[in-house]
Structure 1
Amino acid sequence: MTPLTRCLFALVLLPLLNGCSSAAYYSQLADGQWQILKARKPVATVIADPQQPPALREHLAKAQAARTFASQHLHLPDNQSYRLYVDLKRPYVVWNVFATAEFSLNPVTHCFPIAGCVAYRGYYAQGAARGAAALQRQQGMDVLVSGVEAYSTLGWFDDPILNSMLNWGDERLATLIFHELAHQRFYLKDDTEFNESFASFVEQQGTRQWRTYQGLPPSGSAGLEQRDQFMGLVLDTRKRLQQLYAQPLPAAEMRQRKAAEFERLRREYRQLRDHQWAGNNRYDLWINSPMNNAKLLPFGLYDQWVPAFAALFKHSGGDWQVFYAEVEKLGKLPLLQRRAALQQWTTRA
């Protein structure tokens, strides 16, 4: 396959893509993916190279153990994905740009025939992402630029381990591998909430089993409880904002009440941090940075149906093959029926 053909395939198949007609946008996507493809090296080669940093070699060796576990025990795809390595020389592989209207929590979506509609646009250069975000802000949109450590090409290419995936330790790398392979295992066009919640559940349950396999104790509950409490605050804010935006209010009043809701979120977070978390400030940076609707989008996209998939996994007897078959059945339902079914599983959870 020629480089040009590979680029065109990347252009067509990447889940980052959307319906944008801009030649520059498509060009940067094709070039970015091609740069990753041609820079891939077998992880085994990197591990065997004495000139590579010992910490990197050790990190990758542990990642390969997790990669083998993913296929043998979680029944995730057994291919060359995450058995290759690329050093991007940057902290993120892409930067996603999320946007909403000023008084809406519905994301501006971008659609593509293969990947379907997604709630963001991806850029391989941070400057390009910031430029696109600036143009949307000029149009009165709420915008978020978010760096991404990894993404899946849904099995069309052998996705490598990226240096951007190595920042948070061995277990975090394992969880990323589980998450991205889950997208290869099942992906539903036009339903970001379903896809990301499914992959997030596989990541979380897979990590629990990976720790058991290694003879490690379960993860500490304090951090998970704090995460869940924080997410609860954010999701409650989303609900209140949705109710606010449904009201026929003048723009000035709507804007004032919107700002008040974000201040309420900050106030409730600080109360939680100071009185229940003993001052743990793990979310201070997020809570103290500028707030808008787009900043709340990833919470609903990545976690909404995780309890439903947890209940479905339990119903499947903890059997991954049975679970995946049930997930595929859900994916065949029309959208409204699928969401109703997921809500029923959430209620069971």
Structure 2
Amino acid sequence: MKFCNILLTSFLFTGCYTLEQGVGQINLFVNQKPIDEVIQKNQEPQERLDKLKVVQPVLEYAKSEIGLTPGKSYQKYVPLKDPYVTWIVQAADKRSLNLKTWWFPIVGSQPYLGFFNKESALKEREKLLKENYDTLVGGVSAFSLLGYFPDPLYSSMLDHYTMPQFIETLIHESLHRTLYIPNYYSFNENLADFIAKKATKQYLDLHPELNQDSKKYVEEYQKNLVAQKKFQEYLVKIKIELNQFYENAKENREFKNEQIFLAEREIKFNKIAAEYKAFMNGVEIGTSYENSFQNGKINNAVILGYSIYEAKQEPLEIAFKNSGGTLKTMLKNLEVCLSSSPKDEEDLWQRVEDCQKPVSLGEHKE
């Protein structure tokens, strides 16, 4: 499950939840230090310092070559005591593949709640369990404040990634600050993923002094893409099977008994785990999909959590080709094509595929 690049918008919510998140965010801001000062003092581990030194060059590249607008973000650094900067909680219905969402001002519906404290996340999980939801809790290494406040760099962003992955994360999060479509979280994540990976390859090719093998990065990326496509096939397959199971369960009197229903559902989940490796046929080995769908660790929230990120890359590839294979043109074109609110998810993706409005690169705001 990928939690590394999720957006933390929950601090915009109202009520006690907002208060707790606001205090957490303020505590992070209080502890931030200018990156230049951290590098000069040379008191961090060398691996962290090496990544901090590439931040400014990567951001300059992202602005000039892609048209991203990171603003004043990533100028400061926050060392964390914990391995993750925050934790998220997701929930889904037990009797249908329906992911619970929460609505937030400005950004719209989001499929999770975020917490700066793991105990608070687990407390929320217990609350959702009592409300009869399936749940999922995961750590987050990076998030974006979407331009409302400057984002600092967190030590979790440095510690959980290789140098290429760190560069990719910087570009990914900067993309969220540049183009974000409220209510369409899957599109936002897929777009950021698509552009960040292509841009990282370009950046590594331009900077051999980093001693990072761009060919190896591309090989790993391509290997992951093959596994991703196969994983998507399996995801579609099991969702069709589970949807049919849940529809049939509505007519099955025996399944009105919750224990009997859940026991039968667990058999379905165990079958998903048992058949996963055979379906993937080894293409998942050495990729982020290697340990997906583990026995005893599957529920509707897990399945739908995967669905957020394993949606569509093909329409974005079409938009990229329609833009002459230039990321900066692609991004500007998408800003135009998506300037009015889509009617629904289908309309949004169709606009992406059809997006080929020629735009002068000089028109882009730097």
Q: TM-score, normalised by structure 2?
A: 0.81
Shift of 1:258: 3.2
1:244–1:345 Cα change, 3 Å: farther
CA RMSD of aligned residues (A): 2.8
Which residue of the other structure, out of 98, 102, 111, is the alignment partner of 1:110?
Answer: 102
Query: Aligned-pair distance for 1:330?
Result: 4.0
Give the deviation of 1:347 after TM superposition. Answer: 11
Q: Verify the 8 A CA contact 1:237 1:261 in the aligned structure 2.
A: no
Q: Distance in 1 between matches of 2:106 and 2:32?
A: 24
> For residue 271 of structure 1, what is the aligned residue in structure 2?
278
Distance 1:156 1:93 in 2: 18
Q: State which of 117, 121, 127 in structure 2 corresponds to 1:129.
A: 121
Query: How far is 1:102 from its partner?
Result: 0.4
Residue 112 of structure 2 is matched in structure 1 by: 120
Match of 2:66 among 64, 74, 92: 74
Match of 1:16 among 6, 10, 23: 10
SS in 2 for 1:219: helix
> Could you say which residue in structure 1 is the equivalent of 2:314?
307
Question: What TM-score, normalized to structure 1?
Answer: 0.85
The CA deviation at 1:181 is 0.7
Q: 2:196 aligns with which of 180, 195, 203?
A: 203
Report SS of the residue matched to 2:100: coil
- What is the deviation of 1:98? 0.5
Give the conservation status (yes or no) of the 8 Å contact 1:93–1:148: yes
Deviation at 1:123, TM superposition (A): 0.7
Give secondary structure in 2 for the equivalent of 1:80.
coil
Letter paired with 2:179: F
In structure 2, what is the Cα distance between the partners aligned to 1:235 and 1:300? 9
* In structure 2, distance between residues paired with 1:272 and 1:201: 25
Bigger mean CA offset, 126-135 vs 312-321: 312-321
Of 249, 252, 265, the residue aligned with 2:251 is 249
SS state at 2:251 partner: coil
Q: Confirm whether residue 326 of structure 1 aligns to residue 333 of structure 2.
A: yes
Q: 1:82 to 1:242 in 2, by over 3 A?
A: farther
Identity %: 26
Q: What CA deviation, in whole Å up to 9, does each residue of 1:200-234 have, x standing for no partner?
A: 21222222322332353233333442343234323
Q: What is the match of residue 229 of structure 2? A: 228
Please give the alpha-carbon distance, in whole angstroms, between the structure 1 residues aligned to 2:141 and 2:63: 22
Shift in Å at residue 145 of structure 1? 0.6
Deviations 1:153-186 (A, max 9, x none): 1111110111111122111111111111111001
Indicate how the Cα distance of structure 1 residues 254 and 326 shifts in structure 2: closer, same or farther if over 3 A, else same: farther
Equivalent-residue separation in structure 2 for 1:20 and 1:193 (angstroms): 24
**Residues 110 and 118, structure 1, Cα contact 8 Å, conserved in 2:** yes
Distance 2:77 2:240 in 1: 41
Bigger relative contact order, structure 1 or 2, given CA contacts below 8 A and separation 6+? 2
Equivalence for 1:55: 47
SS of equivalent residue, structure 2 residue 219: coil
8 Å contact kept, 1:115–1:190: yes
Larger CA deviation: 161-170 vs 124-133: 161-170
Would the aligned equivalents of 1:197 and 1:305 in 2 still touch at CA under 8 Å? yes
Q: Measure how far apart 1:92 and its partner are.
A: 1.1
Query: Number of residue pairs matched?
Result: 333
Residues 255-297 of structure 1 deviation map (CA, whole Å, 9 limit, x = unaligned): 4553343223212222256x53596596337524511010122
1:237 aligns with 2:244: no
- Any conservation in 2 of the 1:110–1:119 contact (CA below 8 Å)? yes
- Between 1:64-73 and 1:160-169, the stretch displaced more is 64-73
Q: Which residue of 1 aligns with 2:219?
A: 219
The answer to whether the aligner puts 1:290 opposite 2:306 as a matched pair is no
Determine if contact 1:70/1:178 at 8 Å carries over to the other structure: yes
Which residue matches 1:140?
132
Aligned residue in 1 for 2:349:
342
Q: Which amino acid aligns with 2:20?
A: Q
Residues in 1 aligned to 2:38 and 2:202: alpha-carbon distance in whole angstroms: 28
